[in-house]
Each structure stands twice: as C-alpha cells, then as structure tokens.
Amino acid sequence: MHEKTQSPFASLNREELIVRAEQGAAVLVEAIKELAFENEEKAKRAAELELANKELAFQNEEKVKRAAELELANKELAFQNEENTKLHERLFQAEKLESLGLLAGGVAHDMNNVLGAILGLSSAMQNFQVVDSPAWRAFDTIEKAATRGGKLVQSLLVFTRNSLPEERVLNLNEILQEEVRILAHTTLSHVRLTLDMDSELRPIRGDGAALTHAIMNLCVNAVDAMPEDGTLTLRTRNIDNAWIEVVVEDTGSGMSKEVLKRAFDPFFTTKEVGKGTGLGLSVVNRTVKAHQGQLEIQSEPGHGTRVGIRFPACEHSPYLGETTAEPRPESSPYALSVLLVDDDELIQSSMQAILELLGHSVTVASSGEEALSKLATDFQPDVVILDLNMPGLGGRGTLPRLRALRPTLPLILSTGQIDQVAIDLSRAHPHVTLLPKPFSTRDLQEKLAVLTTPKG
C-alpha cells in the first residue's frame, strides 16, 4: 500500500491556519495591488505613447504643409524669376529700340536732306528735258530712286516710333500688284508666283509706303527660303465686315519652333553675316501693330511658312484705282520773294537753285534766330520755307515768334517727320502748310501755289 502524503497544514491547529490564511490573503492583496499599479502605469504609458504619436502625427502633418508651402513658394519664386527675366529682356529690347529710334531720327533728318536735294534738283532738271528722251528718263529714274529712299526712311521711323507718318484710304490689292511688278524684275526668276486676290476687297486706312515695305520684306524672306525653286502665294480676302486678310505663303525651308519664337526679335536673324540685319520681321510686326492689325506666322521645317496679316477694314469707297483725282493746282504765276530757313548747306544750295529755276528770288537764313532778325527789318518776303528740325529755336520755337511779327505771312513748314508735333504746330497757326521731305519740284510748286494764289 502507498503511504498518504501528509499536508503541510495537517499539523497546524485552527488558529494557525487562520493566521496562515490571513497572511496568504495579505500577500495576495499586495500582489493584486502591485498588478493594478503596473496596469495603471502601463495605461499611463500607453496614453503617453498615444499622445506622443498624435504629436508626432501633428508634426508630420505640419512638415507636409510646410513642404507644400515651400514647394508653392519655390514655384512662385521661379515664376517671378522668369517674369523678371522676361522683363529684363523687354527692357533690353526697349533700350535697343530707343537707341535705334534716336539713331533713326537723326539719320532720317540727314537722309531726307540728302534725298531732298537729289529729288528736288532731278525733278527740276527733268522739266527742261524733252519728254521720254534719254536725259528725261535718267532724271525720272533718279527721282523715283530718291522717292523710294524717302519711303524707306519713313518705314524705319514707323518701326522705331510705332506710329504712322501718313494715313489714307488704301486698296491692298494695288499694293500687292505693285510688289509683284517689282519682284518680277528682281527675285522671281526661280520662283513660281500664285495670286489669289479678292476683287471685292474692302479698303483700309494706313500708310502705303510702310505697308509696301512690310509686304516686300515678307516676299523677300519667302523667296530667300526657296533658293532653288518653290511657289510664292499672295492672297487677299474679306473676313466678315470688320477685317481683311493678306497672306504671304511659301513652300520653302520653314522654321523650327525655336526660331519661330524669336522671329520678331529685333536683330535676330538666321541668315549669314552680311545677308540679313534681323530687322525685317520686326519692321513688319511693328508696322502691323501701328495699323491696329494682327499678325500670325505658321511654319514647320521643310513645310514652308504662312504669314497671315489682318487689318481693320474701313467704310466702302469707290474703287481707289478709278477715283477721279482732284486737279493739281498750277504753279504760282508770280515771281516770289522767298525766305528759306534751313541750317543744312545742301538744302540751302539745292533749294535756292530750284526756286531760282522757277523764277523766284531767294534769301537764305541758316537759323530761326537769323530769320527773325531779317523779318524784324523792312524785309518783305512773299513766303517763308521753314525747316522744323534745326539747332537753337528750331522751327517749333521760331514759328510762334514769326507769327507775332508777321501774322499773315504764308509759311511752308518742311520736315522729314510728319508726326503729331508737326501736325499740331501747323494747325495752331494760320497760313501754314506742311511739306514732308524729300519733296519734288512739283510738290514745292503746288504748295507755293496754294499759299500765294489770291482766293476768289
């Protein structure tokens, strides 16, 4: 038989058992308290961890927001830098154009004086030749060349000041037809020409010389893009009742996107040195803007170029080629005493020769001050020819003082730039007419006739 294992509490009496039970209960209570404390500490630690996680999540969220703000700020900074770069580029272009404008203004004045002497003397000498004789044709060619040179100078002034020196009703079909006649004798030998012109094309208001020069630039560029062969298309059409369109299109080499972006930049050219100034398309663009027009270029390498220009149409008028011109006034039948006021010796000598050939007597003054000094005496000229651009008082300062001395003395205000200053000056004083340089003998005769022929 197996012996029974005796309980360790078997030898304890009741009181001892109670004591032992109480001791065990006390230990158990302490253990429970310890466990509860540990659980409470764990709960606190869990709460702290949860709070730390929330704080960390908040910080991460703030970092994300900050990163987004920094990204936005960087984009804004990049945009501002790009705009500043564009602004600097525009400022640089404006400074170049301003410099070019100052240069053009000075060159225009001097060139118009040179061309004025050539045009005036050639047209005067032509009158002494037998019509259609070799000498007559030679002087006629000189006159046309000087006239065209004057128009080129005016076109350059349009480019630099973005305004029109002369404005009248124009039929662009006539301008294109004249371009074709010129091109036919020069650059169209290896290029096919296609004309598609609307016979009912509405007229526009503008400067014929500036538009002729602009369209010629486009045609020359088109021909240059087709060195071997190709087709040049000139097209006109009406666009509703408000606009007309002129298209110059070629089948040449075309332009890349990079070149197209810079096509209107002044002085930018892809041509070889000596074959292009980089001003051609800039002149076209500014001429179109001066006419309140719109310009669009479409081009791809190997697929040619299409230039579309839109101009605001003006009210219908009779076909300009069929209008009856007002009769030109005859030259003055009187021998006039003319006071010529100009600081340029070339103009002084050429104008004196022309006026004397016309039967007039000439007194020359080299400045406004000298002219006023002569007029303060008993000198009684029949008419004054006053240059607007001179050192000292110039025409602008001389005219009001001259009017104070001689309120009704007829005066021709001569200038190479018919701008708003010249127009306002002529309108502000009576008996004044404008004569743009360069001018022919016929132009001068007409002005003298208008001012000096008795009315009625």
Residues of the chain with CATH 3.30.565.10: 170-318
Q: How high is the pLDDT of residue 325?
A: 38
Q: How far is Cα 408 from Cα 2, in angstroms, rounded to an integer?
A: 161
pLDDT tens-place string over residues 359-418:
899 999 999 999 999 999 999 999 999 998 888 999 999 999 999 999 999 999 988 776
pLDDT in tens, 288-310: 888 889 999 998 898 899 999 99
In which band, very low, low, confident or very high, does the pLDDT at 159 lie, cut at 50, 70 and 90? low
Among 455, 454, 405, 453, which residue's Cα sits nearest to residue 429? 405
Rounded Cα–Cα distance for residues 141 and 199 (Å): 31
pLDDT of residue 399: 93
| Contacts with 438 (C-beta within 8 Å, 6 or more apart), sequence order | 112, 115, 116, 118, 119, 120, 146, 147, 149, 150, 416
Lowest mean pLDDT among 18-27, 151-160, 240-249, 442-451: 151-160
Radius of gyration in angstroms for the set of CA atoms belonging to the chain, rounded to a whole number? 45
Superfamily of 170-318 according to CATH = Histidine kinase-like ATPase, C-terminal domain (3.30.565.10)
* Average pLDDT over all residues of the chain: 81
Q: Does the pLDDT of residue 356 top 60, yes or no? A: yes
Among candidate residues 378, 343, 388, 391, the one with its CA nearest the CA of residue 364: 343
Task: State the maximum Cα–Cα separation within the chain, in Å, rounded to a whole number.
Answer: 174
Parallel, antiparallel, or unpaired: how do β-strands 305-312 and 337-341 relate?
Answer: unpaired
pLDDT of 323: 38
User: Under CATH, what is the fold of the domain 337-452?
Assistant: Rossmann fold (3.40.50)
Q: What is the pLDDT at residue 319?
A: 41
Q: Give the integer Cα–Cα distance in Å for 369 and 390.
A: 11
Both tokens assigned to 319: 């076909």
Round to whole Å and give the CA distance between 248 and 186: 18
> Could you say which DSSP state residue 250 is in?
E
224-260 pLDDT, tens digit each = 888 888 899 999 999 987 999 999 999 988 888 887 7
The whole model's pTM is what? Answer: 0.52
Give the mean model confidence (pLDDT) for residues 54-76: 90
Q: List, in sequence order, every residue forming a beta bridge with 297; answer none if it has no partner.
A: 307
Mention every residue, 6+ apart, whose C-beta is less than 8 A from residue 291: 164, 204, 205, 206, 207, 210, 211, 311, 312
Order of strands, sheet of 294-299, starting from the edge strand that comes earlier in the sequence: 192-196, 231-239, 243-250, 305-312, 294-299
Residue 403 near residue 429, CB atoms below 8 Å? yes
- For the chain, residues classed under CATH 3.40.50.2300 are 337-452
Could you list the beta-strand ranges (E) of 287-348.
Answer: 294-299, 305-312, 337-341
Residue 236 pairs in a beta bridge with 246
**What is the C-alpha to C-alpha distance for residues 30 and 24, in angstroms, rounded to an integer?**
10
Q: Determine the pLDDT at residue 130.
A: 86
**Residue 329: band (very low, low, confident or very high) from pLDDT cuts 50, 70, 90:** very low
Letter for the amino acid at 347? I
Mean pLDDT of the 319-345 span: 64
294-299 vs 305-312, strand pairing mode: antiparallel
Per-residue model confidence as pLDDT tens digits over 428-447: 888 898 888 888 888 888 88
Measured between alpha carbons, how far is 171 from 128 in angstroms, rounded to an integer?
35
> What would the pLDDT profile of 118-127 be if each residue is shown by its tens digit?
888 888 888 7
243-246 long-range contacts (CB < 8 A, ≥24 apart) are 243/310, 243/311, 243/312, 243/313, 244/172, 244/201, 244/202, 244/204, 244/310, 244/311, 244/313, 245/308, 245/309, 245/310, 245/311, 246/172, 246/176, 246/215, 246/308, 246/309, 246/310, 246/311
Does position 112 have pLDDT exceeding 80, yes or no? Answer: no
16 or 70, higher pLDDT: 70
Cα 124 to Cα 119: distance, rounded to the nearest angstrom: 8
Model confidence at 337: pLDDT above 90: yes
